[in-house]
Structure 1
């Protein structure tokens, strides 16, 4: 069993390290990159530690074991934030890539690494004995408790971070990415909770069971997560940057919504292919920034997405009830400036092109 576990942990750590190198070498400037780099690095670290213990590489394990707590805290910090990025739930601080800002966010983690490094230096000569005491949980000294205790608190911190992500997601339940993130959070909370119970109650059996579960499930999660991120990138994911200061405090949002509904549903401004954010804001007598914040924060949608919703609704009605009109005529009437743009938006939103949609209502559609 140990040989199988040894190979699984080695392969799992190797895969994580490969994903780490891929992410570092990526040219994309997506907001979740920093978090993914840290997540992959931490998993590689823990798989290396597990492998070194199972394969009796105790020299290596004795060096690594001191830093398990701080490393888990880094993972607990990065994982929920990566999920918030892909669901547009991040704060301006969480999206910041300024070195000073990132270091400030990681100040407690750096402090924990400092303490762990100090304990490592003080116990350097006895590091092998320390490893044995921690693994067997016998004859523990006061300093031996630091890393295991920190590891437990890090897992609690991760559960807290995932609950925060779910709480923020409650305001945008209609979006597909939000539903995906909520499911991922629930699964991770359950996984982390059982890992926490394993660590507290299972003693020596904890290591083998946890290593086996982590080595198998986490790479599967990584691959699925990576595929979903690639899907977001290909579908032209739009990051909605959070607003540090709200410009809506002086506005009656009910009146704003009434005005917006009037100009879109009654006046049909969306039929103007050149309609832009400043022009729409001027029509409802608010600033561009106020309208942008209202759409992004209160409705959870970008201006372009909001516009296309109205255009697609009208297009569907025309495709259903106006069989004599061509696809191009419908596209232009709804506010699209080209047939190709109409096709692309329609396909992305409804999963089929306009001609396929029309066939449901008219067996002999126009070209």
Structure 2
């Protein structure tokens, strides 16, 4: 078994490392035709759509919807998100949703976690809790408790 494992490692992993260089994101898109000026314009439009228009609150938002909102090609929008934000579309989307959820959890204790979940664009409790915990390391309820505790300590 060990010998088989060594053969596998030497044949597939070591030879692969010697023969190929890592493929950076730029190489992936080298034939896309997107210029730096176009990319900066798309990046600014994406930021406006998320920060000002708060498009992430739409619970059915997809890459096509964002592309249509900023009137750009979906492939170029995807390329800009992958390259300039170093995230895929759904990670980028969830980051904005979680950022607003954290704000609402800390600032409005009267809102239920479920209401906040829907307000920021999530459809299911499971996906909200999973994304929230991945982003913050704690559950929404624990985040709210620690935010309330921190606020109480500041008031004292």
Secondary structure of the structure 2 residue equivalent to 1:254: helix
**Of residues 256, 259, 268 in structure 1, which corresponds to 2:45?**
259
SS of the equivalent of 1:360 reads helix
Aligned pair 1:295/2:85, yes or no? Answer: no
TM-superposed CA distance for 1:250, in Å, is 7.6
Alignment check: 8 A CA contact 1:248 1:294 kept: no
Report the Cα distance in structure 1 between the residues aligned to 2:134 and 2:85, rounded to whole angstroms: 20
Match of 2:135 in 1: 349
Residue 249 in 1 paired to residue 35 in 2? yes
Matches within 5 A, 1:32-181: 38=8, 40=9, 42=10, 75=14, 77-78=16-17, 90=23, 168=24
Q: Which runs of 5+ in 1 are unaligned?
A: 1-12, 22-36, 43-70, 91-167, 172-240
Aligned residues of 1:270 and 1:311 also touching (Cα < 8 A): yes
Quote the residue 2:64 is aligned against: 278
- What secondary structure, in the 3-state scheme, does the structure 2 residue paired with 1:274 have? coil
Provide the TM-score with structure 2 as the length reference.
Answer: 0.80
The number of equivalent residue pairs is: 148
Structure of larger gyration radius: 1
Does the 8 A contact of 2:43 with 2:80 survive in 1? no
Counterpart CA distance in 1 for 2:142 and 2:91 is 22
Task: Give the alignment's Cα RMSD to 1 decimal.
Answer: 3.0
CA distance in 2, matches of 1:294, 1:274: 21
Aligned CA distance change for structure 1 residues 79 and 273 (closer, same or farther; 3 Å): farther
Q: Which residue of 2 aligns with 1:339?
A: 125
How many angstroms apart in 1 are the aligned matches of 2:88 and 2:62? 12
Q: Is the 8 A contact 1:327 1:339 kept in 2?
A: no
Structure number with the bigger relative contact order (C-alpha 8 A, sep ≥ 6) is 2
Aligned positions of 1:197-208 closer than 5 A: none
Structure with the bigger percentage of helix = 1
CA deviation profile, 1:62-102 (whole Å, cap 9, x unmatched): xxxxxxxxx7xx72533796xx8xxxx53xxxxxxxxxxxx
Unpaired runs of 5+ residues, structure 2, are: 150-156
Q: TM (normalized to structure 1)?
A: 0.36
Tell me the secondary structure at the aligned position of residue 314 of structure 1. helix
